[in-house]
Structure 1
Amino acid sequence: MERGTLEIAAHLVSQGHRSLVMSAGGRMVSALEAAGSSHFTYPIGRKSLLTFLLIPQLRALWQREQVDVVHVRSRFPAWVVYLAWKGIPVAQRPRLVTTVHGYYRPGWYSRIMTCGERVIVISKTIQAYVQREYQVDKRKLQLIYRGVDTSQYALGYQPDDDWKQAWFAEYPHMQGKRLLVLPARLSRWKGATDFVEMLRIVCQQHKDVHALLVGEVASDKQCFAAELQQKIHAAGLSEHITLTGYRQDVKQIMAMASIVYSLSTEPEAFGRTTLEALSLGVPVIGYQHGGVAEQLAALLPEGAVPVGNVAEVAMLTLSWLAQPPKVLPNMQFSLHAMQQRTLDVYQDVIAGAGWGD
């Protein structure tokens, strides 16, 4: 179960609607139920033909609970839900909504995410992908950007003294340094190599900067991590860069940063962490593609750099270390806007007829 599901569910309850969530369970269930939703534990995401045996139970559940809208957010559950939905007489069906969250591999299996009566896309980039690969009727598509809670990610937020004390106790070598942060799991395509190369250039002029790679190192990325450490050592940057691994306090780390980066060599479907940094008022330098380019266009246009142009990333970093830019307030990508626009889609699809399946 993902965070976006909890956010939409909580809003439904706050607006006086019932929210029912079906998943295999997990650590977020208690928070979901505490916010007023009902959870049904089904192995709906298990990739097995046996999962299709749940179809009669799904139909019975929808009828018993008088479900108005079914919203699916993942491909295999979408197949199970769609087959259950198609087998119900049209007049008795709940309405069907899907969300396309990313660049699925094109083909019949992924096409299921475009079979909703309304299809939510999370960025203009994903909207273009859906129209290009699946020729979806544009009347079905609804662009709803993912959003952040701007009361939690407030402009100018700073971590409290207790957090800072614990941080500098763990990383005393960062005292008095200006932090450059790449918040992303360690992966070749997430831009770690470009980040190190950028730092090599910047450190020729600034010795008071320290770079942080903040993100999980998965078991299948250990070889890449070792390769990256060798590059860092060979470049003489061992004292200027730290790999923190997975952290739960990314918000606090980004708030302390002078600059945050998004250097993914493949376009991000949206890029939530980047938006969190911008919402905090922290400048972001990002490659100009995907959802990150859309965020930068709205909040910090000068932060967009051509994909792969490490030299320009370095030059912009040097410029911003001398004179930080001003980030515009995040008015466009708020959590409340995402929640309300999703509810609007539900109400619209209930009120109107669908455009086929």
Structure 2
Amino acid sequence: MRILKTCFSKSWGGLEIYSLTTILKLRERGLNPTLFSLKDAPITKEAKARHINTVTIDNAGYINPSGIKKTIALMKKENFDIIHCATSKDLWLVTPALKLARLNAPLLMTKHMGSYVVKKDLLHRFIYKRLDYALAISNVIAKNLVDTTPLNPDKIKLLHNGIDTKFFDPAKYDGNKVRSEFGIKDDELLIGMTARFSPGKGHEEFIEAAQILCKEYNNLKFIIVGKASRGEDDYEIEIKDAARQSGIGEKIIFTGFRKDIPDILAAMDIFVFPSHAEAFGIALIEAFSMAKPSVCSASDGVLDIAVNEATSLLFEKQSANDLASKLKRLIDDGYLREKLGANARQRAVEHFDIEIFTDKLIAIYKEALNEK
């Protein structure tokens, strides 16, 4: 099966990383995927470093006759069985190319983020009509597709993202390495979050909850892992300033970007996922896979992952008081921490493993081909 995976993004984040992960998993299964991306984009450089078959284009704007022409030539030459777009924006290049070239290959798109713009006008109906399936990474994204696009619900399929639960395996990591690095004592509980610095990720509530808890407990430390998104350095500065002014700055650790996320998670006693409106939550299932009890905002894609009182405790989003209250339960109850962590690991393995994702994706590809 020859697959063209498009990703015309200039950024480097979860969407781009997951696009490459998908390609690598398809290649492992004996399929033949090719990445179609922007010439100087980070994803292109990373793909070539991983020896992924890659073709590039200089730009991929909404109206791009030269890009459409190049896409037509590529598709005719390679005769792909499946075209799979990483974003809806990719359709503006791919749909006209398929139409003009009169090619019948199934067209799929993965929707990673919700949109607030309704796209049901004549032009968008043309762009989306050629689509065989839209893959939504969570139920909230599936609903968003129904609300904002001209797609029929029967063209929308739920396909949760996945992670390598054999890599994120608590049996393989010793949290003492990171705890020693940051001077965390044996009798201290380490509460942490992993997220890029971007408004809406919940850093403010995390710090406010830490302030509330430190009034009652003297054995807590808090760790914030990640760096600013492109163009959002000012937000990172604001959060670090808030931590310094909180009166508990010495108890809050900022690690910056880390590649050793399993080691970081192994060091944590409690994981916090305070995002205001997350489409899904890869960081959360990584924590689940590492058997971490968690406190999560009760909203959006989190509800596809976390099960209240079974894997996690859910709190009212943007409420530092409720977050602190739920954290207090876990701080006070070691048995509950252990139970939630074990359940979280089981849920990650049974529902969110990358091999499960790959099985389902290949099945969708085959279904799309059979319907042509």
Which runs of structure 2 are paired with 1:71-110 in the superposition (5 Å)?
71-89=84-102, 92-108=103-119
Q: Residue 123 of structure 1: which of 125, 130, 138 is its match?
A: 138
Contact 1:278 1:299 in 2 (8 A): no
Q: Name the structure 1 match of 2:10.
A: none
Which amino acid in 2 is paired with 1:10? L
Comparing 75-84 with 330-339, which one deviates more in the overlay? 75-84
1:298-317 equivalences under 5 Å are 300-317=310-327
CA contact (8 A) 1:75 1:110 kept: no
Task: Map 1:278-293 to 2 at 5 A.
Answer: 278-293=288-303
Match of 2:38 among 16, 24, 30: 24
- Deviation string for 1:62-87 (max 9, x for gaps)? 22222111111123332011110111
User: Does 2:293 correspond to 1:276?
Assistant: no
Task: Tell me the equivalent position of 1:209.
Answer: 220
The answer to whether structure 1 residue 319 and structure 2 residue 308 are counterparts is no
CA contact (8 A) 1:154 1:280 kept: yes
Letter in 1 for 2:30: G
| 1:15 corresponds to | 29
Q: Which of 344, 350, 355 lines up with 2:369 in the alignment?
A: 350
Aligned residue-pair number:
340
- Unpaired runs of 5+ in structure 2? 1-6, 8-15
- 1:102 offset after TM fit, Å? 0.5
Bigger mean CA offset, 194-203 vs 15-24: 15-24
Partner residue in 2 for 1:260: 271
Quote the offset at 1:299 in angstroms. 9.1
Runs of 5+ in structure 1 lacking a partner? none
Give the distance between the partners of 2:96 and 2:284, measured in 1 at CA: 37
Which among 339, 347, 351 is matched to residue 358 of structure 2? 339
> Could you report, residue by residue, the CA deviation over 1:233-279 in whole angstroms, capped at 9, with x for unpaired residues?
443101111222222222221221111111122x1111100110011
The separation in 2 between residues aligned to 1:219 and 1:271, in whole angstroms, is 19
Q: 1:306 to 1:212 in 2, by over 3 A?
A: same
After TM superposition, give the deviation of residue 147 of structure 1 in Å: 0.4
Q: Secondary structure at the match of 1:303?
A: strand
The aligned amino acid for 2:208 is E
The amino acid that maps onto 1:203 is C
User: 2-side partners of 1:58 and 1:8: how far apart?
Assistant: 21
Instruction: Name the CA distance, whole Å, in 1 between partners of 2:310 and 2:91.
Output: 37
Q: What amino acid is aligned across from residue 300 of structure 2 in structure 1?
A: G
Q: Distance in 2 between matches of 1:13 and 1:300?
A: 36
Query: RMSD over aligned Cα, in angstroms?
Result: 2.5
- Normalising by structure 1, we get a TM-score of 0.86
